[in-house]
Amino acid sequence: MPFCPQCNAEYKPEVSTCPDCQVDLVAQLPETEFMEYGDWAPVESVPNELAGNILQSVLQEDGIPVYLRCHDVPNYGAVKGNASQSEWGDVLVPANLLPQARESLKAYFDSLKDE
């Protein structure tokens, strides 16, 4: 059964995207992993979900578990007119893997500069 990684709703197998959150469903809830790793630490703030997903896949390719924490409250966007809107959320990694995650992201950002 696929699950929505954001609202944790469970869907039928033929559903691939959560209609509420507009995100791709995952086979397993990240919470299972979330519990296993204890302390999580933010490695990077991201301005939007796309950036979060990109960094997530970069880190996951290096074998680092990732949890995206979204600051946005649904349907609250119109009310928020402040500076915090420039930040969509945080990319969290297990605290003990934080140095490794920083290296991984640094290598990724460096590779972008070369282009």
Contact residues toward Zn ion (CB under 5 A) are 4, 6-7, 18, 20-21
Q: Is the dihedral of CA 67, 68, 73, 79 positive or negative?
A: positive
Of 58 and 66, nearer to Zn ion (C-beta) is 66
Least CB distance to Zn ion at residue 8 (A): 7
Between 17 and 96, name the residue whose CB sits nearer to Zn ion.
Answer: 17
Which of 18, 46 has the CB closer to Zn ion?
Answer: 18
Q: How far is the CB of 52 from Zn ion (least distance, A)?
A: 15
Q: Which two tokens stand for residue 72?
A: 């946005």
6 or 104: whose CB is closer to Zn ion?
6
**Closest distance to Zn ion from the beta carbon of 108 (Å):** 27
Q: What is the DSSP string of 54-97?
A: HHHHHHHHTT---EEEE-PPTT-TTT--SGGGG--EEEEEEGGG
Rounded to whole angstroms, the Cα distance separating 99 from 94 reads 10
For residue 48 the two structure tokens come to 């939007």
The whole-angstrom distance between residue 30's C-alpha and the CA centroid of its chain comes to 10
Q: How far is the CB of 48 from Zn ion (least distance, A)?
A: 17
